[in-house]
Amino acid sequence: MVREKYLAVRSDIVKGAITLVVSFVLFQFRAVFFLFLIPPFLYGMRRSWEKTALVLLLLWTALFVQTMVLTAGIDVPGIDRKLLVLVDLSYPSFLLAGILGFFLLKGRALKRFLIVSVAAGCVSVPVILAVAANQSFTGLLREQIIAITELLRQPLSDSGSFESSLLMAQLDPQTMVETTKDLFFRFSLAAYCGILVFGYAVARGIRARFLGEAPIDVAAFRVPDRCIWGLLVVLPIVALDLFVDIGFWAYPFWNAATVLLLIYAFQGFGIIRYRMLRSPRLRRARFFLTVLFLMLLFLPGANIVALLAIPLLGVSELWVRYREV
């Protein structure tokens, strides 16, 4: 009995240490930093939330120490070091807190992801206000965006063609600053939720591949019918914002609309997956249909139709039961 407890504790320590090291290393690849969520999800799927919380806390501590080291030699006039640490560490902190919240909550995974995303959005408001209050930092961000825009405009100015002049008009520095701000506030929370779902889905796939556990059954995924009311509330506000600038108040509705459309898009893919599994002809044409869909994504005009068609297919199952045929 004592030996079994000892072996169990040792296994927890070893696997926790491996999770910590692998996740920390993956975070260093900043272009794909979101991969660092996969090891904690893998660990938490077979451990209690208390043990998962300890690993997440140790990982956060390692990231905090790294951030303190990296910002030690940075001296930017008007920008306090604490603000640099806050900016660099806030997003991974919210992601790690999202993992902990996911394992703390009970119920369907979709419900848990939505709850932690809403909580993250509420908690992030003071952080955003603190960053926005520093004029030196926001001015630095603005200068960076303008500098990047000018780099993009330089080859176009040398060309002198009519198409280049049209594109240069779109790449106005001040317009790009406002566009970047709108994109961030409109889709940041949806991106946060998507990153968490990605880490969870990959972790489930790894466990299914190597441990024989049941994978995520896309063909059986269904959105609760009551979610349509949320979509009916937020879409009119988003449409209104396209014609009348509502300002800051439109951002939560943009994020909510994006999340709901992605959920219904997943249901749409589930319908397609279900019909392919049921129909041998569609199963044989799967590669062709996938290539066709990817081609449509790169055709102006057609890409919008393709992107909206999948969530609309998911919404339409409220009236047409595709998976009961």
Report which of residues 168 and 19 the model is more confident about.
19
Range of the domain at 221: 217-325
Q: Is the pLDDT of residue 159 over 80?
A: no
The answer to which of 179-183, 189-193, 228-232, 279-283 has the lowest mean pLDDT is 279-283
**pLDDT score at 75:** 74
**pLDDT score at 135:** 79
**pLDDT score at 24:** 94
- Contact between 76 and 140 (Cβ < 8 Å): yes
Same domain, 22 and 137: yes
Structure tokens at 78: 């008007």
**pLDDT score at 164:** 61
Same domain, 246 and 147: no
* Domain final residue, candidates 211, 228, 256: 211
Query: pLDDT band for position 169 (50/70/90)?
Result: low
pLDDT winner (highest mean) among 61-65, 144-148, 172-176, 240-244: 61-65
Same domain, 141 and 224: no
- Can you tell me the mean pLDDT for 115-134? 87
Same domain, 42 and 90: yes
Q: How far, CA to CA in Å, does 35 sit from each of 167, 193, 201, 203, 213?
A: 35, 14, 11, 10, 21
Structure tokens at 146: 């303008």
Same domain, 276 and 157: no
C-alpha dihedral over 221, 227, 233, 239, to 10 degrees? 0
Q: Is the pLDDT of residue 325 over 60?
A: no
**pLDDT score at 84:** 82
Report which of residues 56 and 272 the model is more confident about.
56
Q: How far, CA to CA in Å, does 296 sit from each of 106, 307, 311, 319?
A: 39, 9, 16, 27
The whole-angstrom separation of Cα 196 and Cα 117 is 9
Same domain, 149 and 252: no
Same domain, 129 and 21: yes
3-state SS record for 187-222: HHHHHHHHHHHHHHHHHHHHHHHHHCCCCCCHHHCC
Q: Is the pLDDT of residue 195 over 60?
A: yes
- Contact between 192 and 95 (Cβ < 8 Å): yes
Q: Is the pLDDT of residue 161 over 70?
A: no
Same domain, 228 and 284: yes
Q: Is the pLDDT of residue 162 over 60?
A: no
Question: Rounded to the nearest 5 degrees, what angle is found at the Cα of 71, between the Cα atoms of 38 and 191?
Answer: 35
Same domain, 54 and 192: yes
Question: Rounded to the nearest 5 degrees, what angle is found at the Cα of 25, between the Cα atoms of 23 and 28?
Answer: 110
Q: Which of 87, 62, 63 is nearest to 74 (CA)?
A: 87
Same domain, 189 and 98: yes
Q: Which residues pair with 79 in a beta bridge?
A: 76
* Domain final residue, candidates 172, 192, 211: 211
**pLDDT score at 3:** 64
**pLDDT score at 213:** 78
The three-state secondary structure class of 292 is helix
User: What is the DSSP track for 122-183?
Assistant: HHHHHHHHHHHT-HHHHHHHHHHHHHHHHHHHHHHHHH--HHHHHHHHHT-HHHHHHHHHHH
Same domain, 166 and 301: no
Report the chain's mean pLDDT, rounded to a whole number: 84
Query: pLDDT band for position 93 (50/70/90)?
Result: very high
User: What is the DSSP track for 56-70?
Assistant: HHHHHHHHHHHHHHH
Residues 202-234 pLDDT 10s = 999 998 888 777 778 888 888 888 889 999 999
Per the structure, the count of domains in the chain is: 2
Residues 239-293 pLDDT 10s = 999 888 888 888 899 999 999 999 998 898 888 888 877 777 766 666 777 777 7
Q: Is the pLDDT of residue 79 over 90?
A: no
Query: pLDDT band for position 57 (50/70/90)?
Result: very high
Q: Is the pLDDT of residue 113 over 90?
A: yes
Q: What is the pTM of this model?
A: 0.87
Residue tagged 């406002």 (tokens):
178
Burial 74-113 (b: 16+ CB within 10 A, else e): eeeeebeeebbebbbbbbbbbbbbbbbbbbeeeeeebebb
Same domain, 248 and 201: no
**pLDDT score at 11:** 78
State the DSSP code for 28: T
Residue tagged 């995924």 (tokens):
221
**pLDDT score at 220:** 84
The answer to which of 54-58, 83-87, 167-171, 269-273 has the lowest mean pLDDT is 167-171
* Domain final residue, candidates 185, 211, 237: 211
The whole-angstrom separation of Cα 34 and Cα 192 is 10
